[in-house]
A and B are shown apart, each in its own frame.
Chain A
Amino acid sequence: MIAIIKYLQARLKTVVVVCYALLAVTAASSLLVDTHHAHSWVEQHVPCFWSLFGFAAAATIIGVARWFGRSGIQAPTDFYTRSQSSEEEA
């Protein structure tokens, strides 16, 4: 397994191209699938809906998490111990 991973890592560009091709095939194949039993209108009528949904959802989550973290939620690792010791000093 290690050898395979190293082999693929050595040909990263090819791997990336293959992955893009697979994504394109997946999206294209979804057009052939019967959406008759899908739960919602968008699933039935928007082509490659789940591809769009997956990308948009992931991008949104990354954006929200980054904004949330930078808005003060991510703090130094000694946040609690530092505030504790400064209170003790005070």
Chain B
Amino acid sequence: MTPGFIHPSLLLIGGALLLPFIQGPLRKPYLFLVPLLALCAVALNTTLSGTFGLFQFMDWQLVFGRIDKLSTVFALIMALMAVIGTLYGLKVNRAGEHMAAWFYAAGSLGTIYCGDYLSLFFFWEMMAFASVFLIWFRRGPQSLQVGYRYLLIHTIGGIILLAGIMLRYQAEGNITFSLLDVTHPQPYTWLIMIGFALNAAVVPLHSWLPEAYSEASFNGAVFLCAFTTKTAVYTLARACAGMEILIVLGVIMALYGVIYAVMENDIRKLLAWSIVSQVGYMVAAIGIGTEMAINGAVAHAVAHILYKSLLFMGTGSVLYMTGKSKFTELGGLYAKMPATFFFTMIGCLSISAAPFFAAWASKSMIIGAGFEHHISWASWLLMFGATGTFMYNGLKLPYFLFFGKNNCSEETWEAAGDPPWNMMIAMTLGATLCIVVGTAPGFLYELLPYHVEYNPHTMYHFMETLQLLGFAALAFFLFKKAVEPVDRICLDIDWVYRKAGCGFLWLVKKPLQAIDTGWGEAYRVVGLSSLMSMSRFWSWFDWNAIDGVVDGIARLVRGIGSKVRLLQSGQIQISLYYAFSLAAVLLITFITFQLL
């Protein structure tokens, strides 16, 4: 590697490989130290600019360290998340779970720093294969199936991306990971975009997300909510900025996620739907593609990672302490989990873009970029979605989880309580950052790819937000019966592929199996018996014809041999007698023949 550049993924991968050997009292300090070192490496890398970690592999030059403002801001927040996530799960004893999380974070950082499609694909797949273990480690009744579905979808996405990369290489002769020509998209442009979009959970390629994230282990979900979708947002911002279809898709995501989150009964699935919705804002901003929009997308990605991880930590604490994650099995928990309630509320206010909380500094930047770029329809719909965000995340989640009707069983109520110290520290850290970003966003704006001329702290923005949130809250409390959670699941687009999968299984088990059985029977009746007759004939032919000839010759030779054997008595005088007699006969015959 070029001196000066330290790849944080190497630290995380090395740390993960050594982790099983670190036992006892050293384990917890080690767990904290490795991601912290990775964060320090990223922080040191911020002083650099350009390309580092260049390797020649066959005909291609691999770039493991492209450092610019876009990669730096994403790398910083990802490395920070690795620290917060590990701290939150510090008491998890399974080394494998920490290893999976670190490999996952390493994949994300590798993708962010890489400058070519080959290493991107390698790190991209590392993320997919590492993250699935965070689902499997939940070890719930559905975890295995959900994990396999997650892996299957991401494998398909990986294949689509690889196809795009190969077609692009064939067309352009290089593997440089840079902005695609989105004004004249080629088939490979679409394929690469779809590959990235699948990881960003762009509708209709999204249904892996709510299913997987709600099924992950309590701390696995904290990692999952940060890395995959936001790394995909980074890749879309890098390669597909200004691709107009993304505006439409982003707006659809923002609204689709809201509707499903309002219907959802599982607290973590609600948050997962919220990711679909919030990533929609980023995708739409990338589609708008102006400097302000890209800044907004990046700022919102950073804010989103902070508040969403905080929310997943809050709900994860509920799951960790009570073992429950459904509204219909929870409720009224503020008295038992006051600190968790407090931190979750900060997350709720942050995602709702309440004044001086995280998304306050970022969401309006995206909406403003839409208005300024004269894509008003998108901005209006995103505002509409923002109202929904406040309703399901700012009101429904805290109200039905911490207040509302107490649906807890006796055991659940007894088990409820604020989580251990490490989880509290992680939540404190997340909550503090949410408030810092919202109140003093200047340091975040400094990190953004383009110069920022935006100030969220205006009276108009303040009053606009207060009105929006206040009157949305009024509607919520007036119609709260209509959003009361019910113990049902929400069917989504995964219904299509689940049903298609069941249809395929039915096809294999019923008609194809019947055809196979029929064919086997027909073969047994027709093919096998005729084959047996043929075999019998050839057996007879072999025995009587071929063997007859061979055996006949053998028998003839044996007969002659047995006759000739009589001449061989073993006595020398008799042998001499036969020899001389034969010689005499031959001599006499010869002479007689000569005389005649």
What are the interface flags for B462-499 relative to A under an 8 Å C-beta threshold, 1 for contact and 0 otherwise?
01101111111111100100110011111100000010
B502 interface residue, CB < 8 Å from A?
yes
Known: A53-B387, A58-B391, A61-B388. Is A74-B490 also a contact (CB below 8 A)? yes
User: Is the contact region of chain B dominated by helix, strand, or loop, or is it mixed?
Assistant: helix
- Beta-carbon nearest neighbor of B380 in chain A: A40
Contact A23 B470 (CB under 8 A): yes
**A interface, size bucket:** 35 or more
Contact A61 B387 (CB under 8 A): yes
Which of B65-73, B257-265, B514-522, B586-594 interfaces with chain A? B257-265
A35 interface residue, CB < 8 Å from B?
yes
A13 interface residue, CB < 8 Å from B?
no
Q: Within 8 Å CB of B487, what residues of A?
A: 77
Q: Within 8 Å CB of A69, what residues of B?
A: 263, 488, 490
A17 interface residue, CB < 8 Å from B?
no
CA distance A38 to B262 in the complex (A): 30
B379 interface residue, CB < 8 Å from A?
yes
A10 interface residue, CB < 8 Å from B?
no
CA distance A62 to B390 in the complex (A): 12
CA distance A26 to B469 in the complex (A): 11
A57 interface residue, CB < 8 Å from B?
yes
Contact A74 B470 (CB under 8 A): no
Known: A34-B460, A80-B498. Is A62-B376 also a contact (CB below 8 A)? no
CA distance A22 to B482 in the complex (A): 25
CA distance A83 to B488 in the complex (A): 15
B383 interface residue, CB < 8 Å from A?
yes
B384 interface residue, CB < 8 Å from A?
yes
Which A residues between 43 and 87 are near B, CB-CB below 8 angstroms?
A: 43, 48, 50-55, 57-66, 68-69, 72-77, 79-80, 83-84, 87
Taking the closest CB of chain B, its distance from the CB of A57, in whole angstroms, is 4
A11 interface residue, CB < 8 Å from B?
no
Taking the closest CB of chain A, its distance from the CB of B316, in whole angstroms, is 21
Taking the closest CB of chain B, its distance from the CB of A61, in whole angstroms, is 4
Taking the closest CB of chain A, its distance from the CB of B49, in whole angstroms, is 36
Taking the closest CB of chain B, its distance from the CB of A40, in whole angstroms, is 7
Q: Within 8 Å CB of B491, what residues of A?
A: 72-75, 79
B335 interface residue, CB < 8 Å from A?
yes
**Which of A57, A66, A68, A73 is the one whose CB lies under 8 Å from B472?**
A57
Contact A58 B475 (CB under 8 A): yes
Give the number of chain B interface residues (Cβ < 8 Å): 48
Q: Within 8 Å CB of A76, what residues of B?
A: 488-489
What are the interface flags for A21-32 relative to B under an 8 Å C-beta threshold, 1 for contact and 0 otherwise?
011001101100
**Which of B390, B468, B473, B476 is the one whose CB lies under 8 Å from A50?**
B468
Contact B376 A33 (CB under 8 A): no
Q: Within 8 Å CB of B338, what residues of A?
A: 1-2
B334 interface residue, CB < 8 Å from A?
yes
B537 interface residue, CB < 8 Å from A?
no
CA distance A33 to B463 in the complex (A): 8
Which of B263, B372, B383, B471 gathers most chain A CB within 10 Å?
B471
Q: Within 8 Å CB of B474, what residues of A?
A: 23, 55, 58
Contact A26 B470 (CB under 8 A): yes
Which B residues between 451 and 467 are near A, CB-CB below 8 angstroms?
A: 458-460, 463-464, 466-467
Taking the closest CB of chain A, its distance from the CB of B424, in whole angstroms, is 15
- Beta-carbon nearest neighbor of B494 in chain A: A80
Q: Within 8 Å CB of B473, what residues of A?
A: 58
CA distance A34 to B461 in the complex (A): 11
Contact B464 A68 (CB under 8 A): no
CA distance A5 to B332 in the complex (A): 12
Taking the closest CB of chain A, its distance from the CB of B335, in whole angstroms, is 6
Taking the closest CB of chain B, its distance from the CB of A24, in whole angstroms, is 10
Contact A34 B459 (CB under 8 A): yes
Contact B471 A55 (CB under 8 A): yes
Which B residues between 105 and 156 are near A, CB-CB below 8 angstroms?
A: none
CA distance A69 to B335 in the complex (A): 32
CA distance A64 to B390 in the complex (A): 16
Q: Within 8 Å CB of A33, what residues of B?
A: 459-460, 463
B506 interface residue, CB < 8 Å from A?
yes
Q: Within 8 Å CB of A23, what residues of B?
A: 470-471, 474
Residues in A lying within 8 Å of B, measured CB to CB: 1-2, 5-6, 22-23, 26-27, 29-30, 33-35, 37-40, 43, 48, 50-55, 57-66, 68-69, 72-77, 79-80, 83-84, 87
| Given A29-B463, A37-B458, A76-B489, 18 additional A-B pairs, CB 8 A | A6-B335, A27-B467, A27-B471, A38-B460, A43-B464, A50-B464, A50-B467, A51-B470, A54-B468, A57-B384, A58-B472, A58-B475, A61-B384, A62-B475, A74-B486, A74-B491, A77-B489, A87-B502
25 contacts between A and B (CB under 8 A): A1-B338, A1-B342, A2-B335, A23-B474, A26-B463, A26-B470, A30-B464, A37-B458, A40-B371, A48-B467, A50-B463, A50-B471, A51-B468, A55-B471, A55-B472, A57-B383, A63-B482, A65-B259, A66-B482, A73-B490, A75-B491, A76-B489, A77-B487, A77-B488, A83-B502
